[in-house]
Structure 1
Amino acid sequence: MTKRLFVFGLGYCGLEIAKLARAGGWTVAGTSTDREKVRRLRAEGIEAHLFDGTTPLAATAAGGASHVLCTIAPGVAGDPALRLGAPLLRQARWLGYLSTTGVYGDHGGGWVDEDTPPNPGQPRSIERLAAERGWQAMALEAGARLDIFRLPGIYGPGRSPIDQVKAGTARRIDKPGQLFSRIHVEDIAGAVLKAMTTPHAGGIYNVTDDLPAATSEVVAFAAELLGRPVPPTIPWEEAAAAMTDMARSFYAENRRVRNDRLKRELGVVLRYPTYREGLQAIAAAIKLPSDSGR
């Protein structure tokens, strides 16, 4: 089997997936909106192409990629990879799309799984659901297997409560009953690679860890790992008044997300099954300034 992966969007998740694929013997190509990043990625051995969603990508850019993954967020004009990369997509045997658990909408803290009917309430989630349907149509047209990965809040090195505590920007917002599901970026990469290499019919998978938790609980754990004072809680009403509309929108919905299908059908074993293991690994990799003299 030709092992060539093309990634629309070599960002935080896309690069982690590309790194894991290359370690597994895959040839990897992909896109970025930044010319300097394109040059850097090429120097690192990733065949990168400039793609800003306004100019069609040449069908030859993927070099006959057998697998194509999209990590790019859609907008009101739809998914740019679908609009401008269709010739490339029609060549693939496998298509993958990173979506969001936001398509389920608000469930008042109740559990959702892949059989829960989508009911997005936020504009960005409505756009994601439309993109999912576009990718399903493209897979039928191409005769390709499609996997849709619905992701909750993403964290990892450089983007975690550990980094926020260290920077002094972490806040513990107290909104009673509010829970968030999370996933470590390395577990996203592991799930995508597992889907690419495991025989199955294709489907929709929630890629999330096993323990939905309140943000205040997670920040407190991060502070304790770093030996820093736990930030005081901020009442929701006070915190909301200072938030942007985008930040408030994340607290407008409350749900817990199941990952049983991911484990059952793809055999995925999470490296970081809860935020505790994930934050412990991030903290262990950070050398704090206070440790420099030891």
Structure 2
Amino acid sequence: MNLFVIGFGYTAQRVVDLHGSGFSRITGTVRSAEKRALLAADDIYLFDGTRPADATLAKAAQADIVLISVPPGSGDDPALTAFGDAITTGRARRVIYLSTVGVYGDHQGAWIDEATPLAPEHDRVQARVRVEQEWQARIGDRLTVLRLGGIYGPGRNALVELRAGRARRIVKPGQVFNRIHVDDAAAAVMAAVRCGKGGAWNIVDDEPAPPQDVIAYAAKLMGVAPPPELAFDSAELSPMARSFYASNRRIRNIRAKQELGLVFTYPTYRAGLDALWAAGEGR
């Protein structure tokens, strides 16, 4: 299988690091020359949102699997605009789009699943829904949408934030968030590669949890006092950070387990943090 990756971000890079041996060739795009130099690969091309070079489009058309991990812009989606025709008419049997559980909007802490109507509340998640729908209209059952919870893992976790002095225990009564360890997100991508049908699946762990609990557990592992609780109403947050707290829901992952055959290595944030601490994170 040839894999073409649009955007070697945190999750896409983890897919390659853990499962790259399952592909005969891996090509793709990055936004900057600096990132390309870090990857040190000849088959990585620059893509800044404008029309790609013909050689880049040819690689996309020749791919058996396409993984799209770049977020949409404020207007037309750059990946869809640049690569839509090449992928639609190309040989890809599976196009995997990494989306977000934010497309469901706010449900006041209630449990929801893939049958729940999409109700995006902000521009960035409204754009996600448009992109999901536009890819679906173009390629139909060849499309797999993975709606990811908050991604954490090596280098990006509560242990690292605590050690750096950036962690805050912001408390909004009743608020929970859905999370997923990056290794389980990568496993979901590979499950989608193997799956014989398209669809949309929620990729979240088993336990939506209050954000302050995650920080407190990380502090316990480190043997340090957790930061004091800070009321949400008095917390200084960026508009984007504050918007995350406007949506509150508990998301089921049953369909992903049943239809993609997923068995999560880290079914709770505690399991994930335990493994990260054992690996030396936050020390």
| Band of TM-score, shorter chain | over 0.9
Secondary structure in structure 2 of the residue aligned to 1:206: strand
Deviation at 1:26, TM superposition (A): 4.0
Deviation at 1:287, TM superposition (A): 6.5
1:119-138 matched pairs, under 5 angstroms? 119-138=119-138
Q: Deviations over 1:142-162 (max 9, x none)?
A: xx6110000111111111111
1:118 paired to 2:118: yes
1:79 to 70, 77, 90: 77
The CA distance in 2 between the partners of 1:46 and 1:4, in whole Å, is 15
18-27 or 249-258: bigger deviation: 18-27
1:249 paired to 2:243: yes
**Which residue of structure 1 lines up, in the alignment, with residue 11 of structure 2?**
13
The CA distance in 2 between the partners of 1:287 and 1:83, in whole Å, is 39
The alignment's TM-score, normalised by the length of structure 2, stands at 0.94
1:187 to 184, 201, 215: 184
Task: Say if 1:26 and 1:176 are closer, same or farther in 2 by CA, change over 3 A.
Answer: farther
1:153 paired to 2:150: yes
The CA distance in 2 between the partners of 1:13 and 1:135, in whole Å, is 20
- Equivalent residue pairs, number: 279
Deviation at 1:88, TM superposition (A): 2.7
1:206-221 matched pairs, under 5 angstroms? 206-221=202-217
On the 8 A contact 2:154/2:281 being kept in 1, the answer is no
The CA distance in 2 between the partners of 1:287 and 1:159, in whole Å, is 9
The alignment's TM-score, normalised by the length of structure 1, stands at 0.91
Q: RMSD over aligned Cα, in angstroms? A: 1.5
Identity in percent: 47
**Which residue of structure 1 lines up, in the alignment, with residue 269 of structure 2?**
275
**Which residue of structure 1 lines up, in the alignment, with residue 279 of structure 2?**
285
The CA distance in 2 between the partners of 1:82 and 1:109, in whole Å, is 33
Deviation at 1:135, TM superposition (A): 1.0
Task: Say if 1:288 and 1:47 are closer, same or farther in 2 by CA, change over 3 A.
Answer: same
Q: Deviations over 1:228-274 (max 9, x none)?
A: 111111112111xx111111101011001110110000111111101
Structure 2: stretches of 5+ with no match in the other structure: none
Q: Which runs of 4+ in 1 moved over 3 A?
A: none
1:34-53 matched pairs, under 5 angstroms? 34-41=32-39, 43=40, 45=41, 47-53=43-49
Deviation at 1:57, TM superposition (A): 4.6
Secondary structure in structure 2 of the residue aligned to 1:187: helix
Deviation at 1:47, TM superposition (A): 2.0
On the 8 A contact 2:162/2:282 being kept in 1, the answer is no
**Which residue of structure 1 lines up, in the alignment, with residue 169 of structure 2?**
172
Task: Say if 1:250 and 1:13 are closer, same or farther in 2 by CA, change over 3 A.
Answer: same
The CA distance in 1 between the partners of 2:25 and 2:42, in whole Å, is 8
The CA distance in 2 between the partners of 1:57 and 1:85, in whole Å, is 11
**Which residue of structure 2 lines up, in the alignment, with residue 197 of structure 1?**
194
One-letter code aligned to 1:68: V
